[in-house]
Structure 1
Amino acid sequence: MDIVLRNNADQPIYQQIKNQMADQILCGTLSEGQQLPSIRGLAKALGISVITTKRAYEELENEGYIDTVPGKGTFVSRRDRTELQRQQQAVVTEELRQTIAQIRRAGMELEEVLALVRHFYEEG
């Protein structure tokens, strides 16, 4: 598992961890049933608070990406990746709907928005 944290990023640290782990699960870098580092182990490896790591794991579990087995550890969920992607796409669709409403209120033109989307998408 490869996680890169940026202190100057717009996202909080727990969100960076969550997003990177979710991406690695969806693309198969982290495979179904694979055991993940403990919360304390990951916190130590990343040099961050246990509370921060715990929050990332809790959100990943709530969204179905990972499962915690008491006394055994935390594992990548055996759920269907396609279903996880569908759930994520539904969230993105709703967020996009809200963003488009804000864009209209701001008076931005479609071409401006498309150029921004293209820029941010290519930026990665």
Structure 2
Amino acid sequence: MNIILSNATDEPIYAQIARQIREQIWSGSLASGAPLPSIRQLAKDLRISVITTKRAYEELEKEGLIDSVVGKGSFVAGVSPALLRERRLRRVEELLEEAVGDSRALGMGLDELVGLLAILYENGGSEHE
């Protein structure tokens, strides 16, 4: 599992961890049942607080993406591909709603927004890929 933390963002560290694990689950890089590093091991590997890694795992557990078993560790939950796709689709909708709100606040028209989206899509997406 590869997690890269950045100090050059406003995103909290626990959220960066949760986002990257979430994306690896959604992409299939982390399959159902795959073990995750222990909270302590991940904290040690990333050189961060155990509290921070615990918060990231708790967030993912609330979303139903991971299961934690006392004494055994944390594992990718057995989530169906259809459910994962639906959750990811909802996330895309949320991001697009935010983009529409921001573009309206800037006075952008629909054609301009669609054009910008097309350019971004053709150039490969976002920095999170």
TM value normalised by structure 2: 0.82
Identity of aligned residues (%): 48
- Does the C-alpha gap of structure 1 residues 40 and 82 become closer, same or farther in structure 2, counting only changes over 3 Å? same
Aligned to 1:90: 90
Matched, 1:122 2:125: yes
Partner of 1:67: 67
Contact 2:26/2:88, CA 8 A, preserved across alignment: no
**2: CA distance between counterparts of 1:123 and 1:87?**
18
User: Hey, what's the Cα distance between the residues in 2 that align with 1:116 and 1:14?
Assistant: 31
Structure 1, gaps ≥5 residues long: none
Shift of residue 79 of structure 1? 1.3
Aligned length: 124
Distance of 1:123 and 1:90 partners within structure 2:
17
Q: Does 1:32 align with 2:32?
A: yes
Task: Name the TM-score, length of structure 1 as normaliser.
Answer: 0.85
- Superposition RMSD on alpha carbons, in Å? 2.1
8 Å CA contact 1:35, 1:76 repeated in 2: yes
Aligned to 2:46: 46
4+ aligned runs moved over 6 Å, structure 1? none
